[in-house]
Chain A
């Protein structure tokens, strides 16, 4: 699983590399437009293009019929009914390619979310770092957990242990720019969590867990936690990114949606895709 994740991360890292130091909107523009085109190609390859064209034509035919028979209300309403049925049949035709598209779109969105949902810390900001251990970890065991915070980060509070939840939390303040690895140790078991303090566009992961199917979808270079150790997860919160689209504050998801659609409609004819 981690191989897939690594390949995907490298691929998206490569894609975003030119835009790393630029304003986030440029990366979004590029990825959205590229996504629109890729989605078109996938849609074309996985759909019954002739069937979709036929279904769309039917809808348009009924649409024209409304105009042609506008003086006969009975006919017009009958046509509207046919139009709705045809529209449903069109959606049915488009369902299969939509299923196929969900996979790449899901992956793209995960990697966009990693970059655009949150931003790295800036100097002076704080975050709560929570370590979750296996259920029923004893108080004594919790007390033995050690944290190693590198220079550039500062522990602001002593550990807060909640034995019922088997978790420990610390508050950390960032003091210098950089990428830091905070280590947690219990007996011979050591795990690490990356904390990014920067102003560039990077993939961020708030949570590290044990390896599972969902690690396939991880978008950073952080390794999953070992299966056999006492640790279940390390969690923290990056600040929310305010996405600015040439002066308009738009949610990154909406921006992606709009831009990829524009791209799809723009290249539709060129790529001869019917949708």
Chain B
């Protein structure tokens, strides 16, 4: 039905058309705005295409000269790698047997399935760095999420260092940077896609951890893990509430107490530090929330107003912070109204860098993040975008966290399939984070006795992990539909997953055994080992990976002499800690402590921990232990929703690998992927790479169609059976 007003409008328009003079209306400003915009776009595209076409022969010649035929020795023209962070072999194998993962089963039948050896330690930044570079941390310099500053003993991000411009111009309260901030990529060695790019093979690398700042190479990259939020942290959410009695948030978020007057709540959103003022105060963006009823509010930020409903996420909302001198810093965040009564409670995700106007580069080339945003809408750019802290701190519930994670996952899938469509030849690699984050937060649902279940209801989401695996299987299936017979398809995980029930504070153990001492009068420390007497400390732990020795000449206040004393101390600690028992359960908490020198080799070995912790299943370094709090508690229950982990003895948490080619290597390892892919493209792996090829020469034979067909039929039969 055409509305009456529309009909009137159409009649009037017709009349205006028919009357001789009003034909001018065609070229009025209204139409003009649209046609000019449209015309400019077409004209712009035309010239862009023309320029590209004109310069194309030159580029082809240059490429031909530089790379000859890039694919001349290639065994395949396209390799697709789907990384499912943390996919656990035992769960995968059980579900494969139960027929719940038909696409992975099919992939296995086409080629292979195997467990995949992870890295020491089994941590995503370490593992994916080994994946990227084909070398151990001693050569790529990534040992953990964090490294320690040898002078201050404070933790630092291991993969990137951001610092302001060196030269600044001081004008009154302002301090204007004369130059760009410096962002140093601390991962060393080179990724295999860089080597491929140098040989003229183009790659799409999406969200592979430890890719901030993005690398410059012949290809496209979207940064992932360690990309900061707008505050410069690894993800800090905000929680706005009128409830002044609320417990302070311990980690990963900030509470802002807001005032309510009648039906209005006013507050401000904390932005990044204003780097152009001397005081470096955080920028602020005021907001007003008008409470419409108990389930709805109108949120006004700047000049925009958004309608929020309880328990429903907003789209990404643009936040523009004005720094002065016309400089704006752009971010994006989603809001989630938790309640309006009795207290106003509003959650805001960490402020992600706006991919359309990135304050720091989140892709290579720079325009790629803009391209994705324009084409598919805003998306999460933060490295650890799924806000696990908000669930850990009890701000979001399980359902809200899951919803957030899958919203982000959908963005990733869209980006991946676009990249896949555009990779006609070359490499397309993506890493999916949802598998890691959901397992971290919901592993408790697999075990009724998990300590985290004392405080968290796990019944409602009992099947969340299985559902996750089936979703990933579906993603694998959709990917397979887009592949050709000769494409090589690899699905892998960097490590597995195990429950995290009990935490060990290694610093407390070191203190109790005389290896670490606090300053006089200090009974307990706060975060980051503040209060430790370094002149009387031989060993300390920071981060997740292991123990550092306080070595003379290496650490600023080192006391352990390099050489024999250092070696003796290591042996002593390994002996004492390996097989450490949990007094509560009598179980072995640490299966083995590993000497880093025995595991790593390369010029950066000295930057990592001296001992690598091999925790048993169910154990991990405690929350306090990881952040350097020393409080007398050696073992404690992990009651947080973060109930699964993989930072244990790497031998206990291998990953998985599926491939549509037969893997001939007996013990494939994550570190083998780089040389394997190089070999698939006919590129000789550099000598420093440690991994070995996991395929033999038969790799060129394509998929096993017969086996594939058999599995398809078997699956169809099962489906028919179950539907009957």
Interface residues of A (CB under 8 A from B): 35-36, 39-40, 42-43, 54, 56-76, 80, 83-84, 87, 90-91, 94, 97-103, 105-106, 108-110, 113, 213-214, 217, 253, 257, 260-261, 263-265, 272, 275
Interface of B is mostly: helix
**Closest Cβ neighbor of A75 among chain B residues:** B422
A sample of 28 inter-chain contacts (CB < 8 A) reads A35-B28, A35-B29, A39-B28, A39-B33, A61-B375, A62-B375, A63-B41, A63-B45, A64-B371, A67-B48, A67-B52, A68-B367, A72-B424, A91-B34, A94-B33, A94-B38, A98-B30, A99-B10, A100-B30, A102-B26, A103-B12, A109-B22, A109-B24, A113-B24, A257-B27, A260-B28, A264-B29, A265-B33
Determine the chain A residues whose CB is within 8 A of the CB of B41 once the complex forms: 59-60, 63, 83, 87
Q: B residues within 8 A CB of A103?
A: 9, 12-13, 16, 25
Q: Which residues of B contact A58 (CB under 8 A)?
A: 374-375
> A39 to B36, alpha carbons, bound, how many Å?
15
Tell me if B66 counts as interface (CB < 8 A to partner A): no
| A98 surroundings in chain B (CB, below 8 A) | 30-31, 34
B49 near A110: Cβ-Cβ < 8 Å: no
- Contacts A39-B29, A99-B10, A253-B27 given: A68-B365 contact, CB under 8 Å? yes
Q: Which of B63, B368, B374, B424 has the most C-beta atoms of chain A within 10 angstroms of its own C-beta?
A: B374
Task: Select B371's contact among A61, A84, A94, beta carbons within 8 Å.
Answer: A61
Q: Is the CB–CB distance between A75 and B424 below 8 Å?
A: yes
Whether A43 and B38, one on each chain, are in contact in the complex, defined by CB atoms closer than 8 angstroms, is no
The residue from A65, A73, A108, A260 contacting B32, defined by CB atoms under 8 A apart: A260
Closest A residue by C-beta to B304: A272
Count B-side interface residues using an 8 Å CB cutoff. Answer: 50
Q: Which of chain A's residues has its CB closest to B37's CB?
A: A275
Q: List, in ascending order, chain B residues with CB within 8 A of A97's CB.
A: 30
Q: Is B19 on the interface with A (CB-CB < 8 A)?
A: yes
**Known contacts A64-B374, A275-B34; A110 and B45 CB within 8 A of each other:** no
Distance to closest chain A CB from B638 (angstroms): 44
- Other than the given A87-B42, A263-B29, A275-B34, 18 more pairs (CB < 8 A) read A35-B28, A67-B48, A68-B220, A70-B52, A71-B63, A83-B41, A100-B9, A101-B25, A101-B29, A102-B26, A102-B28, A103-B13, A105-B24, A113-B24, A214-B19, A257-B27, A261-B32, A265-B33
Nearest CB in chain A to that of B315: its residue = A50
Q: How far is the CA of A118 from the CA of B268 in the complex (A)?
A: 58
The interface residues of chain A, by DSSP majority, are classed as helix
A-B interface, 6 closest residue pairs, ranked by CB to CB distance from nearest: A101-B30, A105-B28, A61-B375, A61-B374, A260-B29, A106-B22
- Contact of A74 with B22 at beta-carbon distance under 8 Å, contacts A58-B375, A64-B374, A275-B34 already known: no
The answer to whether the Cβ of B370 comes within 8 Å of any Cβ in the partner chain is yes
Task: Let me know if B28 and A60 touch, CB within 8 A.
Answer: no
Assembly CA distance A80 to B552 (angstroms): 63
B8: nearest chain-A partner, CB-CB? A103
A66 touches B49 (CB 8 A): yes
Q: Which residues of B lie under 8 Å from residue A72 when comparing CB positions?
A: 422, 424
Return A215 CB to nearest CB of chain B, in Å: 12
Q: How many angstroms from the CA of A40 to the CA of B21 in the assembled complex?
A: 23
Q: How far is the CB of B420 from chain A (nearest CB, A)?
A: 13
Inside 8 A of B371's CB, which chain A residues have their CB? 61, 64-65, 68
Question: What is the distance, in angstroms, from A111's C-beta to the closest C-beta of chain B?
Answer: 11
Contact of B31 among A68, A101, A113 (CB under 8 A): A101
Residues from chain B with a CB closer than 8 A to the CB of A275 are 33-34, 37
Do B16 and A102 touch across chains, with their CB atoms under 8 A apart?
yes
**Is B15 an interface residue, CB under 8 A from the partner?**
yes
- Measured CB to CB, the nearest residue on chain A to B303 is A272
Alpha-carbon gap, A264 to B34, bound state (A): 11
A65 to B418, CA, bound (A): 11
Query: Is there an interface contact between B33 and A43, defined as CB atoms closer than 8 Å?
Result: yes
Kindly state whether residue B484 has any CB partner on chain A within 8 Å. Answer: no
Whether a CB of chain A sits under 8 angstroms from the CB of B248 is: no
Nearest B residue to A59 via CB reads B41
Give Cα A110–Cα B372 distance, bound, in whole angstroms.
Answer: 45
Is B44 on the interface with A (CB-CB < 8 A)? Answer: yes
Q: A263 to B373, alpha carbons, bound, how many Å?
A: 29
B279 at the interface (CB under 8 A from A): no
Contact, CB under 8 Å: B21 / A110:
yes
Residue of A at shortest CB range from B46? A80
Residues of B within 8 A of A67 (CB): 48, 52, 367
